[in-house]
Chain A
């Protein structure tokens, strides 16, 4: 069974890079979101196995999304993919339940490896 991924980032090109990487690694990208509120809504609707989440997004940011997703599903696997602009925000994300973190700029192989570690027992 394919692992199902939701990709949340306000930059279209970053969503494309993550989608291409995940698809070639055997994930099914079931949805995308470009702000925090949309990420929550898409998570509730799609029930993905994992989420990649940018913290710096307009309107409702990634922390808003992380809290909303973890409230809905405390077992959610959320991989934060974000710039290290604000270290405090990263600490808040880990406290809020983020499973792991990949800093931008990222290497696609590192991102894939970190993403695969979120669901090590899944069959791709």
Chain B
């Protein structure tokens, strides 16, 4: 995956958390993710397709997901519920939308977001894609954004089909 695809997701994530949630994120060093081990309690997953295809995952700890929802709705959910999944789904949707605008040349469309919750859930990327994981520190706990994108070529038009 081209490294230049990562920056739009990084800046979009920082911008969305700052503008909508008034939460300052501190980014860590990106790394390649291997395997499907879960990192977080809540994952917002969205597919991208166009001249590049792939999947973006916003992962949040339980506390971060609850606090992000509270910041959006001014009301703290008592548990991981429909409000939390709506909030995380919309966050990953806006993050992907912001990144997409900066990758206009790839002419990508965004799928509807899916939100997965639970301590032991796994997100699997297509085997040909090694996603890059960007870790962030927040006052609410750790957050990650995983991006697995692959350019489509005439010889290999089906690479990086979004999957979760």
Contact = CB atoms under 8 A, between A and B. Distances in A.
* Interface majority SS (helix, strand, loop, mixed), chain B: helix
A13 B20 contact: no
A13 B73 contact: yes
Contacts, number: 45
Most buried by B among A11, A16, A105: A105
A21 to B, nearest CB: 10
A106 B100 CA distance: 17
Contacts of A14: 90
B94 A83 contact: yes
A85 B19 CA distance: 17
A83 B73 contact: no
A113 B131 CA distance: 40
Contacts of B74: 20
A84 B98 contact: yes
A17 interface: yes
B101 A83 contact: yes
A105 B72 contact: no
A105 B20 contact: yes
Nearest to A21: B74
A117 to B, nearest CB: 19
B144 interface: no
A105 B16 contact: yes
Interface string A55-98: 01000000000000000000000000001111100000000000
Nearest to A16: B73
B87 interface: yes
B94 A13 contact: no
A10 B125 CA distance: 28
A106 B73 contact: no
Give the interface size class of chain A.
10 to 19
A104 B118 CA distance: 29
Nearest to B112: A58
A119 interface: no
A50 to B, nearest CB: 22
A11 B101 contact: no
B73 A85 contact: no
Interface string B85-127: 0110110011001101100100000100000000000000000
26 contacts: A11-B86, A11-B89, A11-B90, A13-B73, A13-B83, A13-B89, A16-B73, A17-B72, A17-B73, A83-B94, A83-B97, A83-B98, A83-B101, A84-B101, A85-B101, A86-B101, A87-B101, A104-B94, A104-B97, A105-B19, A105-B20, A105-B94, A106-B19, A106-B20, A107-B19, A107-B20
Interface of B: 15-16, 19-20, 72-74, 83, 86-87, 89-90, 93-94, 97-98, 100-101, 104, 110
